[in-house]
Amino acid sequence: AGSREELAAQLAKLNLETPEYIEGSYPEYNVVDLCRNFIAGQLTKLTGVDKKIAYESLEWSIVLEKGDLLVPLPRLRLKGDLVQMAGDIAGKFELGGYLDRVVPVGKFLQFFFSPKFLLNTVTPDVLKRGSEYGSAPLGKNKTVLVEFSSPNIAKPFHAGHLRSTIIGGFLSNLYEKLGWKVIRMNYIGDWGKQFGVLALGFKKYGSDKELAENPIQHLFHVYVRINQDISAEKEEAEKTGIPLDENTCTDGQARAFFRKMEEGDEKALFLWRKFRDLSIKRYVDTYARLNIKYDVYSGESQVSQMTIADVTEKLKEKELIIEDKGAWLVDFKKLGHKKLGKVLVQKSDGTSLYVTRDLGAAIERKNAYKFDKMIYVIASQQDLHTKQFFTILDMMGNKWAKDLVHVSFGMVLGMSTRKGTVVFLDDILENVQEKMLEIMQQNKEKFAQVDDPKKVADQVGISAVMIQDMQAKRVNNYEFGWDRMLSSEGDTGPYLQYAHSRLRSIERNCQVRPEELLTANMSMDNLCGNEEEIRKLNLSEEEEEKQLRSLKLRVEKATALIRIMASYPDTLRYASKNYEPSTLVTYLFKLTHQFSSTYKFLRVMGEPKEVLLARLALFSAVRQILNNGLRVLCITPVDRM
Ligand code: ARG
């Protein structure tokens, strides 16, 4: 986007007056904000209400039938008969070239943007700004840390991790688009007694070769086997009545081993470090397939013992923990938080716990990154845990505890592949790619035209998994349905990819240079035709009637499309406020459905050059928005499929 001066010059060219700038608006980035400024100015003029109040009272309209923006008059704090007032205001409202009409409905005013204005501003704006369309510097000079995915070494990568990865990847991109500095962090589960168990297991069952080749699977298998041994020992002890010897039984040895790790014994740490490094190396590749790159691979192991000691000290000092048989715990009920129960922060043997590490980690992150906001993307099973450590941080006196956000989400049901239960992210991705490739092969002709079918199958397949995950509100559980999500009919990832490749093909067929597109005459007359011209044709009455009807339809279709296109920047902003990927996904379906329906009436190929240019400019802009939206979702749009 240009500066505010450039915007004013641009508006002058369209014979529009620049509305007064209102604090907190981004008219040079977001056409809806420009209209907000205009409407607020008018409301102030007509009612005397404060500009800022008028601006903030403007609400987003979810359905086009109710306008592009609306204002509930009670929000303007006016006195009197509001229904009558709505009528009066609407009657006096100047449209100023920005609006098509103002409609009073009860105590509401609905504002409909002028399609002419939108066509002439939004289309060139999208084409000029390209991948930057939709962005705005809302988070200028602010830092957000997003912690997401956070799997556990030697344990399955389950659905909770998958959703955290998908939602977290989206949120990171979204905040980046909105001008924040984003730190992407993976907080690996790489600490705890299970690493003592794993080390013993590896000495017994491990293979360096397999570890190098397939670290994630191999460690998981070793972990499963050694745990079987532990269970067998326990059973044996129960059967025989001879108690286990803490010094020789596997579990006891594991405990001792982990204690040595916590004490910083380099020899004990050697194997653990290798497990961690190799696992992370493999994860880096898998995340790359999802277009995710972390800034920091942190983990529970990275929280320093000193920080944890400080935390415990502070908790004692503030009398937030009490001793219980040598262990220390927070009793929330006694501290005025009835619903949070109790939580152990230090075991009787002095070792730390999950919650303690989270407390330390948050403090260390605040010191290291000075974030303005920190987002945790963690499954709803950990709602209580998260509330507990957020509350403890707050009770400790950390003012920034209010800047912590838990983005929680529901479960995935029935996520299994042909080969059985899914345990690793790679399995899911391989499986979906295979299935997608099969589907693509069903259309031999199209398949032959795809350059790198495997890669396309990977990208489309992944988009199927991602869209399925993000299309409903994140609190909902959903059923993992291989066939449903891979279908190109209905609201699926492949459907969006298909729309993108179709738009690409329209562009390919026309072979117009991007600079030429910018010269398109975007008037409604040029785009859709006009009445006068039809009348001049001297058609039979019936034929003329028919032509006029289809003209009206074209105008309606073009209007609906451009209004949706205009609301993309606002959509991003809303999604960042409610941390909801579904806000963007729903938008993209709305956009692509409207494109399909508009394209039927506004054909491109074979039209006179002027018309072709305008229509192509419009659809190219649609493609650009779809492309931008998919990328925010971490999806790579495909050109052919
Ligand atoms: N590794 C944990 C698990 O798999 C998730 C970590 C969530 N993040 C956190 N800061 N506690 O359950």
Per the CB < 8 A criterion, the answer to whether 413 and 479 are in contact is yes
**358 alpha carbon to ligand 1 midpoint, in Å?**
9
- The tens digit of pLDDT for each residue in 352-397 reads 899 999 999 999 999 999 999 999 999 999 999 999 999 999 999 9
Given a cut of 60, whether residue 420 has pLDDT beyond it is no
- Given ligand 1 and candidates 158, 167, 186, 187, which is best to mutate, with the most ligand atoms within 8 Å of its CB? 187
Cα 145 from chain centroid (whole Å): 14
Catalytic-residue membership of 158: yes
Could you read off the pLDDT of 559-595 as tens digits, one per residue?
Answer: 999 999 999 999 999 999 999 999 999 999 999 999 9
In the reported structure, the alpha carbon of residue 405 is separated from the centroid of ligand 1 by a whole-number distance in angstroms of 14
Per-residue pLDDT, 352 = 81
Mean pLDDT within 415-439: 80
Residue 439 vs residues 283, 417, 483, 493, 516: alpha-carbon distances, Å = 28, 17, 10, 14, 38
Q: Write the pLDDT tens digit of every residue in 307-334.
A: 999 999 999 999 999 999 999 999 999 9
- Average of pLDDT values for 485-489? 90
Ligand 1, atom 11: nearest CA belongs to which residue?
A: 358
Residue 122's nearest CA partner among 587, 573, 558, 581 is 558
pLDDT of residue 506: 97
Determine the distance separating the centroid of ligand 1 and the alpha carbon of 428, expressed in angstroms: 21
Sheet of strand 143-147, all strands in order from the earlier edge strand to the far edge: 296-299, 181-188, 143-147, 373-377, 404-407
Task: Point out the catalytic residue in the list 51, 66, 142, 155.
Answer: 155
Residue 155 catalytic?
yes
Active-site hit among 116, 158, 218, 557: 158
Segment 110-133 mean pLDDT: 97
How are beta strands 296-299 and 478-479 bridged, if at all? Answer: unpaired
Residues 6+ apart with CB under 8 A from 8: 18
d(CA 539, CA 368): 75
Looking at the CA of residue 382, tell me the nearest atom of ligand 1.
Answer: 12
What pLDDT, on a 0 to 100 scale, did the predictor assign at position 228? 95
Q: For residue 511, what are the contacts with CB-CB under 8 A and spacing of at least 6?
A: none
What are the pLDDT digits (tens) for 528-557? 999 999 999 999 999 999 999 999 999 999
- Give the model's pLDDT for residue 157: 84
Pocket test for ligand 1, best of 157, 378, 381 (most atoms within 8 A of CB): 378
Distance 425 CA to ligand 1 centre (A): 16
Average pLDDT, integer, range 257-262: 91
Quote the pLDDT of residue 119: 98
HSE, CB side, 13 Å, CA atoms: give it for residue 333. 2
| Residues within a 6 A CB radius of ligand 1 | 147, 150, 152, 187, 189, 358, 376, 378
Is 198 in contact with 154 (CB distance < 8 Å)? yes
Q: How far is Cα 25 from Cα 37, in angstroms, rounded to an integer?
A: 8
Cβ partners under 8 Å of residue 415, min gap 6: 159, 162, 421, 422, 428, 480
Catalytic-residue membership of 161: yes
**Gap from CA of 180 to ligand 1 centroid (Å):** 24
Is the pLDDT at 277 greater than 80? The verdict is yes
Whole-number Å distance between alpha carbons of 68 and 61: 6
Task: Measure 298 CA to ligand 1 centroid, in angstroms.
Answer: 11
Rounded Cα–Cα distance for residues 352 and 307 (Å): 11
1 pLDDT band, cuts 50/70/90, is low
pLDDT on residue 349: 82
ipTM, interface predicted TM-score of the complex: 0.99
Report the pLDDT value the prediction gives residue 625, as an integer from 0 to 100: 98
Give mean pLDDT, residues 335-343. 96
Query: Which of 466, 459, 496, 449 lies closest to 622 in space, CA to CA?
Result: 496
Give the confidence band of 473 by pLDDT, cuts at 50, 70, 90: very high
C-alpha 68: how far from chain center: 24
Res 422: pLDDT: 58
Percent of the chain's residues with pLDDT above 90: 91
At 568 the pLDDT is 98
Q: Residue 293 corresponds to which tokens in the numbers above?
A: 């790159």
Residue nearest to atom 10 of ligand 1 (CA): 358
Ligand 1 pocket test target in 150, 158, 163 with most atoms within 8 Å of CB = 150
Q: What pTM was computed for the model?
A: 0.95
pLDDT bin (cut points 50, 70, 90) of residue 416 is: low
Whose Cα sits closest to atom 5 in ligand 1? 150
